[in-house]
Every structure is written in C-alpha cells, then in structure tokens.
Amino acid sequence: MKEGKKSTLKKVLAHISSYKWILVISILLAAVTVALTLYFPILSGRAIDCILGPGEVDFTALYALAERMVIVVLLTALAQWLMNVCNNQITYQVIRDVREEAFEKIQKLPLKYIDGHSYGDVVSRIIADVDQFADGLLMGFTQLFTGVITIIGTLGFMLSINVGITLLVVILTPLSLFVAKFIATRTHDMFLLQSKTRGEQTALIDEMIGNEKVVQAYGQEDRVLGRFDEINGRLEKCSLRAIFFSSLTNPCTRFVNNMVYAGVAILGACLAIGGGHAAGFIAFLGGAVTVGELSCLLSYANQYTKPFNEISGVVTELQNALACASRIFELIEEEPQSPEPEHPAVVEHFDGSVTLEHVYFSYVPEQHLIEDFNLQVKKGERVAIVGPTGCGKTTLINLLMRFYDVNSGRICVSGTDIMEMNRSDLRDGFGMVLQETWLKTGTIRENIAMAREDATEAEVVEAAKAAHAHSFIKRLPNGYDTVVSEDGDSLSQGQKQLLCIARVMLALPPMLILDEATSSIDTRTELKIQNAFAKMMQGRTSFIVAHRLSTIKEADIILVMKDGNIIEQGNHRELLARGGFYANLYNSQFAK
C-alpha cells in the first residue's frame, strides 16, 4: 500500500511539473507573504517598546512604525491574493488535464472494460473522485508551502531575538510531527475504502434511476431500498471512521503546540523580569529580552505552531486526495484496446465481400462461445442470422465491427484482414441499426445528421421520409429543431428506432448491419420500412439479425446458429424443406 501511495504521488507530481513556472511563482509569493507576515510582529514589538509608561510615549517613532505596518499589511494581502490565483490555476489546470486523460482513455478502452464495470463507478471516478482530489491539491498548495516557509522563517526570526527560547521550540516540535504522521499513515486505507464505497453507491443510483419504470413495474422498490441502505450504511461507517481518525490530528497537534506556546511564555517572562542572581542563567539562555521582544516571541511561537495544525490537516486531506487520485489513475492506466497498425491497410472502395476463416472467440476464457466459425459472403448478398438467445448472433456483429477482436482466425472485408485496418476506416464501411437505440442530446436534425455531418437539410428530410419518420417529426413542437435528451424520454421506443433507421438511410454505407432493427415498430410501419430496406439493400451486403423469421424470408443466405456454430445454411425454402432446426423455429412462430 505504501508503494501504491508513492506511485500515486509521483504521478501527481508529474502532472504538476507541466506548470512548474506557475509553481515557482506561487512558492516565491508564499515566501514574500510569510516574510511580510513575520516582519509584522517585529514592528508591533518595536511599537510596544515605544510606550515606556504614562506620559513616556515616543509618538514620532510610533507614527512611523504605524505607517510601515499598514504598508506591510497591504503588501501581504496582495501577495497572498496573487499566490491564491496561482494555486487555483495550477490545481484546476491539473484537474482539467486528468479529466481529459480519463475521458480520452474511455474512448480507447476495449468494450469489455465498459461491459465489465458499472457506469456509475466510472462516472464516480471522473466526477466525485477528481473533485476530492482537487480539494486536497488546492489545500496542499494553499497551506503546505506557506506552512513550511513559515516554520523556517519563524525559527530564523526567533534565533535573531533569543537562542535559548528558539532551542526550546525546536526540542518540542518533533512531538507534533510524530503525532501528525502517526495518525495520517493510518487514514489512507480508510479514505480509499470510502472512495470505493461511494463509487458503488453512485453505480446503484445510476442504475436505478435509469431503470425506474422496471423497478416499479416489478415491485422491487423495497428490495432496491434495502440494497441502498446496506451500501449507505457501509459508506456511513467507513466515512465516520476516516473522518474520526483524521479529525484527531488537529486537536492532538494543538495540544503539543499549546505546550510550546506556554513554554515560550514562561521562559520569556523569566528573561524579561529576571535579574541579580538569575543573571548567569539569563546569559546562558541568550540574554534578557524586553517586553516588546517577548510580545514578538509569543507572536512567533503562535505563528510557528499554527502551520503544524494546518499541515497536519493538509496531510489528512492529502490522504483522501491520494486515495481518490489512485482510483482515477487506475482508470487512466487501464490497458487500452489493441493499438492500430503502424501502416494500416487502406480500402479505397468496399466491394461488400466478407470472409470469416476459422474464427474462435469467447468473452471469458473458461466459457467457449464461437469455435472454428467459417463464412463467405459475396458482394450484395443479404445474410440473415437466426438462432436461440446466446448463440452468438450479436457477438458476430461485434467481431465484424471490431468492438471485440477474435481470439484466433481472421475476418476479411473486401479481401483485407480487418486487424490490418484502422477501426475508424473499417467502421466507415458499415451502417448499423441496433435493437438498443442511442440518441445524443440535441435536435432531431443533429441526431439524424450524425451519420453525415455535411448532409443538407433536404437530404436529412429525404432520409427521414425513407425511414417513415418524417410524419411524426413534423408533429413535434419544433419539428426537426425539437431538442431531445440522451434518453429521448419525450419519444416512444419506436420513434427513437425510426430516427436510428433514418441515420442509416442518410449514410447509405456499402455494408449494413440490422440487429433487430424493427423490434419496437408497429407491424404496419414495419412493412413499409422493410420495403425501404429492400431498396436500400440492393447492391449492398447486409447482415440481418432477427427473431421474427417472417422478416428474413427474402434473405439470400440464412445462417442458423447454435452454441456459436453454424448448424444450417441456405435460403428460406431450402431450410424449410430440410425440416431441421430452422424449420422447427419457423413453425413454432407460425403454428396453426
């Protein structure tokens, strides 16, 4: 765990090093702030010494000191403000960089990572954990530098006044450092557990809000509340433990620091009022002090101990920040998807031919799915894929699009191995309509034009008409300018699917993938769309995944899959005539 903290700290410092000049300015301003702050007690001590007694006040010197004190206060405030500006700049630029790296990594992560982690936990890392990291980093910049410089500067000023009192302070100081270190080293694990539990809670909330209708429809409210209460209870316990133990730091160090202050006060008072037989002792401690110097020493003792309280709080907060940073860096350093080839093959024109040769694939090694899969699709053929749930239909689509890579074997498109192509180039050749619809926050027009950003208004409308979406779009409050959310809650599932179909109609790619593309559309509209698809498929290679076998009668090839293998292959009439697995599936849907 200690190695993990060191590793995380190195990564944080590496990010900060990009802004080292702002950091240098911040440290210089911190030094100026501390120097002026520590100079003020000297002026106030001199001012006290100007007041000797009733009627014995040196007003001329007092006024000059007062003017100087006002100037010092104003300069201190200006330096501190500029230092805070620099600290904010460093903190939020580092946080911006970390979030950009994390979001960029999400775009490069293999799909299996996204499938294997809850969305809420990923969101929690990028939002909540980075915010906690920012708070700790800002506190560190604001208080750590000034605290360290204050400690060093105070000792220097105290030495110039009295060596003996300074030595007393130095001897008692390690107690405060020991207490702070003892507590801080035991709070990191607690904060890490708190961060993980918070991510688990965010994941549950995200899942339940996104599926609220299903939860209510099946009466799962009490069960979900039970799960939430259990996670919330664990979060309460680990948060209380982390906060309780970290909160011990401040009072413990304050106790030690008050001992330092009391020691300075007692010893300084003795030096201020001592004389006669105590002269040898006073000389041994560095000589007598005036009342003004005692006031100055007490002020320095207070300022010297104050940074220890602040630094102990900073160290505790940094434990939380480092725990959160370790989670976000864990995401950033996840193994990305396999890199693109150095010299990618470029397909000038997709002819639509697709070949799969001895393909093996499984999501997890111990569970075999597709084994020794072979398929040859000619240009313009319509290939329908049918079979029971879990047989590998959608998996085959994921492999064609390289959302997942094959374990062995190869897939060729237009005679080129897809592993030798850039993913973006490969995907440009396909158009997809899936059972699960996806819309982005924006207008209806923007959602359709996602397929072709250079499309004209007329082309967008024509695509919507081809998908039979134009009529319902015109009934919306602002037509094509109607804004929809990511979930598209204002639209029905069928309407969202029509928009996705319109997207493909606009792109008109050389190859099509239709995975239950009309599953949420009424029968009458489906018939019209099937006719539109039939026209669009002419001359284009198409892969159609369907459970309703009536929609694939006209396919050139029907692949019947079971347990990751093709068990039957042929057109609709041939497969029915064989009376095999396909015939049983078909007859079960149309039994008299």
In a domain, 563, yes or no: yes
Distance of CA 328 to the CA centre of its chain: 6
Q: Are 375 and 355 in contact (CB under 8 A)?
A: yes
pLDDT confidence bin for 281, thresholds 50/70/90: very low
Residues 542-564 pLDDT 10s: 888 877 776 677 788 888 887 76
Last residue of a domain, one of 302, 332, 362: 332
Main-chain phi, psi angles of 162, to 5 degrees: -155, 125
Domain of 448, in residue numbers: 354-589
pLDDT confidence bin for 78, thresholds 50/70/90: very high
Query: Are both 279 and 365 inside the same structural domain?
Result: no
Q: What is the pLDDT of residue 578?
A: 85
pLDDT confidence bin for 276, thresholds 50/70/90: very low
Sequence-distant (≥ 6) Cβ neighbours of residue 15 within 8 angstroms: 94, 97, 98
Last residue of a domain, one of 332, 363, 389: 332
Query: Are both 173 and 67 inside the same structural domain?
Result: yes
355: number of Cβ within 10 Å: 16
Count of alpha carbons within 13 Å of 132, Cβ hemisphere only? 25
Number of domains present in the structure of the chain: 2
Average of pLDDT values for 586-591?
A: 70
Residue 10 predicted with pLDDT over 60: yes
In a domain, 490, yes or no: yes
Ranges 13-22, 184-193, 332-341: which has the least confidence: 184-193
- % of the chain at pLDDT higher than 70: 88
pLDDT confidence bin for 184, thresholds 50/70/90: low
Ranges 17-21, 362-366, 428-432, 461-465: which has the least confidence: 362-366
Query: Are both 271 and 363 inside the same structural domain?
Result: no
In a domain, 349, yes or no: no
Query: Are both 232 and 315 inside the same structural domain?
Result: yes
364 DSSP 8-state letter: B
In a domain, 20, yes or no: yes
Q: What is the pLDDT of residue 514?
A: 83
Q: Are 477 and 484 in contact (CB under 8 A)?
A: no
Query: Are both 325 and 375 inside the same structural domain?
Result: no
Query: Are both 328 and 393 inside the same structural domain?
Result: no
Query: Are both 496 and 573 inside the same structural domain?
Result: yes
Last residue of a domain, one of 301, 332, 363: 332
Q: What is the pLDDT of residue 591?
A: 56
Query: Are both 269 and 305 inside the same structural domain?
Result: yes
Kindly report the CATH number assigned to the domain that includes residue 508: 3.40.50.300
Single-letter code of the amino acid located at 71 = I
In a domain, 342, yes or no: no
Average of pLDDT values for 279-301?
A: 61
Query: Are both 123 and 234 inside the same structural domain?
Result: yes
Kindly report the CATH number assigned to the domain that includes residue 268: 1.20.1560.10
Residue 467 predicted with pLDDT over 50: yes
Query: Are both 310 and 399 inside the same structural domain?
Result: no
Sequence-distant (≥ 6) Cβ neighbours of residue 167 within 8 angstroms: none
Spell out the SS3 assignment of 40-52: HHHHHHHHHHCEE
Query: Are both 236 and 364 inside the same structural domain?
Result: no
Q: What is the dihedral of CA 77, 78, 79, 80, to 10 degrees?
A: 50
Residue 319, Cβ density class (10 Å: 0-12 exposed, 13-18 middle, ≥19 buried):
buried
Q: How far is CA 509 from CA 323, 439, 497, 504, 529, in A?
A: 47, 20, 18, 8, 17
Q: What is the pLDDT of residue 487?
A: 67
Average of pLDDT values for 89-115?
A: 85
Higher pLDDT, 503 or 311: 503
In a domain, 109, yes or no: yes
In a domain, 308, yes or no: yes
589: number of Cβ within 10 Å: 10
In a domain, 337, yes or no: no
Query: Are both 238 and 155 inside the same structural domain?
Result: yes
